[in-house]
Structure 1
Amino acid sequence: MVDVLTEIIINETKGKVAQYAANPDHAPDWYVNIKSAEWQTEKALQTGSKIAFIAEFLGRRLEYVYEITDFIPGQRLVMKTVDGPFPMETTYTWTSINGKQTRMTLQNKGVPTGFSKMFVPFMSLMMKRANKKDLIKIKEILEKQKA
């Protein structure tokens, strides 16, 4: 099983961080590996929304569809793959620190199937590296907007 948890402190309010991060249209801007995000349902993010992503990971093109399974605006967003190379669940959480900073966590959990099972330790390491880069990028974007 892959279970990767990363977090970062962003010098911006929880509301602004959550609003930006939860919008799939912004995903290609701050996710290093995501090349595009296309809504398959109406654009109001809610439980049941589906978004198709195209990404590149470890030199391979990946196409997958996430469905929002839990969404509490400003607190938590959980999405699971309904179509893709292997089942994955991604969770974002946002916690306010003193009203001026936000702790954002990004967690990916999944169970690779078939041939990819052999690469779980390597995949976990590569996902952790990618997630750290993603969180640094969203921090840069949001703190630059503030300046």
Structure 2
Amino acid sequence: MTIDERAERVIPLPPDQVARYAMDWRHDAEWTQGIREAALTREADAGGFGVGAEVTRTAYFLGKRIDYVLRVAEHEPARLLDMVSVAGPMPMHITYTFTPHPDGTLAGIRVRGDASGYYRLAAPIMARKVRSSLGKDLRDLERKLLEPPS
């Protein structure tokens, strides 16, 4: 079964500010549901973060620890981050978009995946959980960006 879920939210800040924070893997655990750790495990061919870089995430989903590696397929700072899984429990494709909006930034997340094998039976539950998590991710991203510095 294929999962294809997306969420959008207007965040009252400029796209470059929202994207800079959201695209920085060091912040993944601060605003992304279930992620406990994230590490840059392979730099881009040109060095640092960009196309070809790989981020390893440790998450918990439905009570189970999941380790997966996402490779950056497209990276347009302040606009787009597209990543595909190269290791993990199931094939995934995650796209983050940041579009100018009259009230700030229209931030979007889309998750596509192939819930086969072990995950096939849980696919309907997974789809609902992913949909709920994406909305919470964007809410938490906005909260994190708007909270006063400590």
Aligned with 2:79 (options 71, 75, 81): 75
SS of residue in 1 equivalent to 2:120: helix
Q: Percent identity?
A: 28
For residues 73 and 124 of structure 1, what CA distance do their matches in structure 2 show?
29
For residues 10 and 105 of structure 2, what CA distance do their matches in structure 1 show?
6
Q: Does 41-50 or 59-68 show the bigger shift?
A: 41-50
Instruction: List gaps (5 residues or longer) in structure 1.
Output: none
Match of 1:78, as an amino acid?
D
Cα-to-partner distance string for 1:63-121 (whole Å, 9 max, x where unaligned):
000000011111111001100000000000001113x5100000000111212112222
Q: Write the mapping of 1:117-136 to structure 2, written as runs, cut at 5 A.
A: 117-136=120-139
For residues 145 and 75 of structure 1, what CA distance do their matches in structure 2 show?
25
Confirm whether residue 86 of structure 1 aligns to residue 87 of structure 2. no
Match of 2:131, as an amino acid?
K
Count of residues in Structure 1 that have an aligned counterpart in Structure 2: 145
SS of residue in 2 equivalent to 1:2: strand
Shift of 1:55: 0.3
SS of residue in 1 equivalent to 2:133: helix
For residues 144 and 96 of structure 1, what CA distance do their matches in structure 2 show?
21
Instruction: List gaps (5 residues or longer) in structure 2.
Output: none
Q: Does 69-78 or 114-123 show the bigger shift?
A: 114-123
Shift of 1:145: 4.3
For residues 137 and 56 of structure 1, what CA distance do their matches in structure 2 show?
17
SS of residue in 2 equivalent to 1:46: coil
- Greater per-residue helix proportion: 1
RMSD: 1.3
Aligned with 1:51 (options 55, 77, 80): 55
What is aligned with 1:104?
Answer: 107
For residues 39 and 75 of structure 2, what CA distance do their matches in structure 1 show?
19
